Amino acid sequence: MRDSKSLILLLLAIFSLVLTFVVFYYFFNETDNEKINFALPKAGLAPKDSLSVKYASLLNDLNGVPAASSIESDSANAALFTQLGALYQLKNEITAILKNTNSSTADLEIARQKITELQQRVEQLNNRNDNIELENKRLSALLSKLASNFNIPENMVSAPIAATVTAPVTKVNPEPILNSNAGVLSAYNINLKALDAENGDETNAAAETGKLVGTFVVKNNLSPFNNTEMMVVLVQPNGRVLQPSPWESGTFSTAEGKKIYSCKVKFDYRKGETKQCNFNINADQYQKGNYMLQLYHNGILVGRLVKNLG
């Protein structure tokens, strides 16, 4: 009796298993068929079918494009977001026309035009993506090259300079930009003081400042530099370079193009010497905020400092 009950249970279990297998097999087989029918239409296509093929291939291209909703809608991405929104709207319109079994010839013509437009937009996006990738590669190579020139660790290279610009406090002596390049001097111990216009004491108030006095030390163990020039660039809080007098300011060339300097320090340098350099900047007035001091030698940034005047 007990054996017969067990046998019935075993048969029921086997039956359930077979049934489940059949149901799953049927379900998956049907989905695959649908996919194949959409992607691979039969030969001797009607106009609507040929459009479907074109559309299907476009959808494949679209796979690489992120969904509009996945792009952060900050100001930098606004243009891309708008483009993607338009692209997905176009896609939905075409799908609606192609799915409609009662579509007229005119509808199909509209669909054809829309598919062409979609194709162009996808190509534009792909081109743009390629350009961005190329530019990224170029910038990465440039940063690596600069890092190796200045002996900066990779993690420091990727840190945005803007973060230091907006620092609210005076940052004296940041990490020196050391370099092993024989063609340029390294600058360190960089200091920038604001002196009171009336008594010459140090101040941090823009309204009281009469002049800015800067000092820095230069060194290079590989080369001497005769009659060389260190360009001092003082970027004001408004982003413009401070030019105390047209007789002291000018332009110089860098890898990024021409830059304006506030003043320049001329000197002769003996190989291995530790040389202290000074400069003064006398402006009519000083703005409140962060001043970014940059030192360039032979067109390369060799030192920088942020000074805040309140």
Partner 1 sequence: MYQQLRKSVLFFSLPLFWAGSLLSQTKSQLKYENSQVYAGIEVGSKGVKMSILEIGKNAKKTGAFNVLKDTAVNTDFISFTPTSFGATVKGFSQLYQVAVNEFAIPPSRIFTMVSSGVKMQAEKDNRVSWIGQLADSFRLRIGDPQRTVDIIDVMGEAKLSHLGIVPESRRYTTFLIDIGSGNTKGGYFPNGNTNTLRLFELTWGTKTINNATVKRCEEDNSITNYNRQLTRVLAGDPNNEIVYAVNASGAYEMSDYIAISGGIAWSVANYISPELIENSVVPVTYADVLAFSERIFKEYETLNADQIIADIKDPLLDKKIIRSELKKVNQVFDQRALMAGTGLLLKIMRQFEGIYEKKQFYLVKNGQVGWISAYVDQQINK
**Residue 278 makes contact with partner 1 by CB under 8 A:** no
> Which stretch in 46-54, 170-178, 252-260, 291-299 sits in contact with partner 1 by CB under 8 A?
252-260
**Residue 182 has which token pair?**
């024989």
The binder of partner 1 chosen from 29, 198, 199, 247 (CB under 8 A): 247
Residue 160 touches partner 1, criterion: CB under 8 A:
no
Binder of partner 1 out of 5, 74, 246, 274 (CB under 8 A): 246
- φ, ψ (nearest 5 deg) of residue 185: -90, 150
The residue (of 128 and 240) whose beta carbon lies closer to partner 1 is 240
Minimum Å distance from CB 84 to partner 1?
A: 27
Q: Does 282 bind partner 1 (CB under 8 A)?
A: yes
- For residue 213, give both structure tokens: 């006095």
Give, as one character, the DSSP assignment of residue 69. G
Nearer to partner 1, 183 or 250 (CB): 250
Q: Minimum distance between the CB of residue 145 and partner 1, rounded to whole angstroms?
A: 20
d(CA 161, CA 294): 12
* Window of 57-65, 182-190, 206-214, 245-253 that interacts with partner 1 by CB under 8 A: 245-253
Taking the complex as a whole, the smallest distance from the CB of residue 241 to partner 1 amounts, in Å, to 9
Does 162 participate in binding partner 1 (rule CB under 8 A)? no
Nearest to 242 by CA among 287, 299, 192: 287
The Cα 102–Cα 122 span in angstroms is 28
Q: Is 250 exposed, middle or buried (0-12, 13-18, 19+ CB in 10 A)?
A: middle
Among 31, 63, 227, 274, binds partner 1 (CB under 8 A): 227
**Using the rule CB under 8 A, is 75 a contact of partner 1?**
no
The smaller minimum CB distance to partner 1, of residues 52 and 294, is found at: 294
Q: Confirm or reject binding of residue 174 to partner 1 (CB under 8 A).
A: no
Contact call for residue 240 and partner 1 (CB under 8 A):
yes
Least distance from partner 1 to the Cβ atom of residue 244, Å = 7
CA distances from 93 to 35, 66, 111, 241 (A): 21, 19, 8, 52
Gap between the Cα atoms of 265 and 183, Å rounded = 17
Closest to 236 measured CA to CA, from 292, 163, 285 = 292
Residues in contact with partner 1, counted by CB under 8 A, come to a total of 19
Q: Give helix 105-150 / helix 47-62 axis angle, nearest 10°.
A: 20
Residue with smaller CB distance to partner 1, 216 or 286: 286
Distance of CA 5 to the CA centre of its chain: 72
User: Is residue 289 within the footprint of partner 1 (CB under 8 A)?
Assistant: no
Least distance (Å) from partner 1 to the CB of residue 163?
A: 20
Whole-angstrom CA distances from 37 to 31, 34, 59, 60 are 10, 5, 15, 15
Least Å distance between CB 308 and partner 1? Answer: 21
Compute the distance between CA of residue 291 and CA of residue 307 in angstroms, rounded to an integer: 5
Residue type, 187: A
Residues of this chain that bind partner 1 (CB under 8 A): 227, 239-240, 243-247, 249-251, 256-260, 282, 284-285
